[in-house]
Amino acid sequence: MSAQSVSVELAKNALDEFSAKYPSRKKSENFELFTAFCVLRKYEVEDVTLEAGCVGEGKDGGIDWIYVIINGRVVSLLDPVDTENITRNSEIRLIIGQAKEEIGWKASVGEKFLATFGDLFGGQEESTVRAYASDLTTSVKNFLEFWFSAAKKRPILIIELVQASLSDREPHDDVKASMALAAAEIDRVFRVQSNQSFLGSEQLFNLYSAAPSYDASLKYVEELEKGDDKVALVTLYDYYKFLCDDQGQLNEHFFEDNVRDYERGVNVNKQILNTLQSEAKNSDFWWLNNGITMLVSEPPVSSRKEYDLRDVQIVNGLQTSQTIYDWARAKEAFTQDNRTVLVRIIAPSNEDEKAKVIRATNSQTPVSKASLRATDEIHKRIEDVLKLRGLFYDRRKNYYKNHGKSPREIISITLLSQAMISAFLMRPDTARARPSSFLDNDDTYNDLFDSGRDMEQFCWAAAAQKRVDEALSSSNYSKSEKNNLRFYVLLIMRVLGSSIVARTGVWSSRPCKDDWFPSNAEILRAADWIVGIQQSISTTTSSPDSVYKGSALKEHLKKDWKNKFKEWTEF
């Protein structure tokens, strides 16, 4: 077997392994999702967002997937994108790609891109633009609205065009030339120079199989030690190098156990940046900054003033770290800056100690209450109970993903909260529109995660939500429709289950049987009914999105439920 054919075989095996996690998807759709997963491998992306970016379902203009990455986080374009935290130092990546499960490259990909970019990005009159799939046009519309607002703050925009196939050879010059022409069209609109890449079998396999390293070396200037734990002064330059991967990008996975994301534009980060930029000779950086706290799985090993660290997690200091990274990347002659940052390195002996450190170090500065919830005892109980049902509760973000669990088996804190809000608090509009603000409030959080709540409710909500999402994923609804429907359908399924038990058709908050789950037919029948009600409301009020995020739809469903139950069950 030749070296070239080996790379194709390896890529196909990787595709088969990936596809097994998505059994309900078509083979061609799995290849598109597979290539998108490979491209986004180093970023933080949830499974729902990954699938939402795949738009290659006919009338796609050659675009199989489209994503925007804002400061290292992949954001769904099916909803409007917030610009509140965009600053001059923000990095925005627009990635557009096509994937064909073929062993070869095609110049027609670039030709299709060229025409589509002219239609969707080029400011053409609507009457002259060809018809495109709604998910694609929604994604482009939301990106353009986001960018035209964000551009006023002068962030960095990077555009990447990707063509992926199972080819084991370099693309011919005509293929590269067609992509270059397409790039010129989108460059003209956004006034940037985009990047074009061709991902063949070898590149896809390498991206798929690459696991991020959590081990790293950190040079230091001075240290204080007590037992196995260290406190060290590290130069800003050495800390910046520690934060970078081999390509100079931020090691995002170092921050998976941090309770909050970077908050650009907030006053404390402006002050950190001002301190960095001042380069005052009479005060060191660490005098004016609380420093960094990182956890490691083994006591640090030191040699020649350099630590060898295992399983690094930065649990406090993300704001400082990101600001140092952004500032250093834009700075010249940075190696001459000898100011230092304070770094605490702790090797907890168990998970309880780790949780205590995370909570304590993040209680000294303002953090959203919802962000600290993951260490509450009830979430540990939920995690243990869900494992018995074959589901993995991702209270420590990406933990199970990094341990090889299928996305279909993983449920995040946010998704479980949305499922519980929908099914048992009967507020699917809140779950769809504003789950994070709901969880920030002590009263509503305690109502949802009351220690006296039956654990079986969490199990039912998690498993039923997965079933609903699975059934909708194989339906003919658009991605935006699926996104709007999922929590309403879950509510109807819980009400249906409790109505079957009571045989009354009464709309109530009673739980259904723990072992009762809806069939695909029941899920899709409910979805059709919900869409019909939504359409009747939308014709007299506003857009579908606003109807799903408002309270009127649920009230209409509640009013019509008894008749619908009788119709469905012939009771």
* Largest Cα–Cα separation, the chain: 83
C-alpha–C-alpha distance, residues 310 and 264, integer Å: 29
Those residues whose C-beta lies under 8 Å from the C-beta of residue 45, and which sit 6 or more positions away, are 73, 74
> How far is it, in rounded angstroms, from Cα 277 to Cα 330?
11
Backbone angles phi, psi at 250, to 5 degrees: -65, 130
Using DSSP, state whether 421 is helix, strand or coil: helix
pLDDT value of residue 335: 65
Q: Which residues pair with 308 in a beta bridge?
A: 217, 301
Q: Could you write out the DSSP letters of every residue in 318-349?
A: HHHHHHHHHHHHT-SSGGG---EEEEEEE--S
Q: Are 297 and 310 in contact (CB under 8 A)?
A: yes
φ, ψ of residue 392 in degrees (nearest 5): -125, 115
Cβ atoms of 97 and 36 closer than 8 Å: yes
- Calpha distance 336→78 (Å, rounded): 45
Would you call 65 exposed, middle or buried from its count of C-beta atoms within 10 A (0-12, 13-18, 19+)? buried
pLDDT of residue 555: 93
Contacting residues for 370 by C-beta, under 8 A, at least 6 apart: 436, 439, 440, 445
- How many residues would you count in the chain? 571
User: 13: Cβ–Cβ under 8 A, 6 or more apart, which residues?
Assistant: none
Q: What distance in Å separates the CA atoms of residue 175 and residue 144, rounded to the nearest whole number?
A: 28
CA-nearest of 108, 124, 238, 220 to 175 is 108
Q: Which of 381, 216, 243 is nearest to 311 (CA)?
A: 216
H or E segment and range at residue 123: none
| pLDDT for residue 519 | 93
Please provide the distance, in angstroms rounded to a whole number, between the alpha carbons at the two ends of the chain.
Answer: 65
Give the single-character DSSP code of 244. B
Give the pLDDT of residue 25: 76
**DSSP-derived 3-state class of residue 265:** coil
Lookup: tokens for 204: 């896809």
Sign of CA dihedral 376, 382, 383, 385: positive
Full-model pTM: 0.63
β partners of residue 216? 309
Structure confidence at residue 365 (pLDDT): 47
**How far is it, in rounded angstroms, from Cα 570 to Cα 567?**
5
Rounded average pLDDT per 10-residue block, the chain, 571 residues: 68 90 79 93 80 84 93 86 82 93 91 91 64 90 93 92 94 94 92 93 88 84 89 94 85 74 70 84 86 90 89 88 88 74 90 75 53 73 88 79 79 90 92 73 82 88 94 87 93 93 84 89 94 84 80 92 84 46
Contact between residue 76 and residue 67 where contact means Cβ atoms under 8 Å apart:
no
Residues 6+ apart with CB under 8 A from 438: 417, 421, 430, 444, 445, 448
Q: What is the pLDDT of residue 366?
A: 47
Q: How are beta strands 306-309 and 392-394 bridged, if at all? A: unpaired
CA distance 62 to 128: 18
